[in-house]
Amino acid sequence: MTQPEKLAPIVREVSVSWKPEEAYRRFLNEFSSWWPVKTHSIGGPRIKRLVFEAKVGGRIYEEHIDGRQFQWGKVLELDPPRRARFTFHPSRPESTAQTIELLFHPEGSGTRLELIATGWENWGKGAERARRGYQVGWGLVLNLWAGRITMRMRLITGDWEGRAGASVDLAWRQGGLINSAEGEVRDSGRIR
């Protein structure tokens, strides 16, 4: 069996006025306060809480109001305030995960966050299409983290931007995703 062809990583950057320690803390420790759960999650309005356990081996997961929990990934490395690495596979089997690396670069009196997403070939069928979608999605997520945009956006030729284009309401089809989500943590491995 041949190995799937490696796909190029996604690299997204955003600069903020926060020092690296603050930027790192806001991303990891305050993850649930800024992540757009209504549009970028498995359960949307059914989410009770979103958790990013900021420790090596820690889990990233969402818990629904009914108690079900869906794992998004696992923390691989932490080097505060310079770097964090984790797997990312919301609603998919862990074997299809991408690896996300966050690099917090000092930039003047602030920080430039560089996000690198690799391992797209793990996705399997549809990897190229998924990669294109995440290219847009990670840009949106980083701009939300930086406090630059709101959830009502305009779509312009493959990238999100706030000035012109066809209006897109991001609160979309959340219902069907839960039924097909493969990342639910079953009772035997329940996150506590």
> Which single residue is written with the structure tokens 């991408």?
98
Alpha carbon of residue 57 to chain centroid:
17
Q: Report whether pLDDT(181) > 50.
A: no
Using a cut of 0.85, tell me whether the model's pTM lies above it.
no
Largest CA distance in the chain: 51
pLDDT digits (tens, 9 = 90+) for 91-145: 899 999 999 999 999 999 999 999 999 999 999 999 999 999 999 999 999 999 9
Does the pLDDT value for residue 12 go beyond 90? yes
Residue 86 contacts residue 99 (beta carbons within 8 Å): yes
Cβ-count burial 111-131 (b if 16+ within 10 Å, e if not): bbbbbbbbbbbbbeeebeebb
> For residue range 29-48, what is the model confidence (pLDDT) as tens digits?
999 999 999 889 999 999 99
Give the CATH class of 10-170: alpha beta
Q: How confident is the model at residue 189 (pLDDT cuts 50, 70, 90)?
A: very low
Task: Output the DSSP codes for 56-114.
Answer: TT-EEEEEETTS-EEEEEEEEEEETTTEEEEEE-TTS-GGG-EEEEEEEEEETTEEEEE
Q: Where are the domains positioned within the chain? A: 10-170
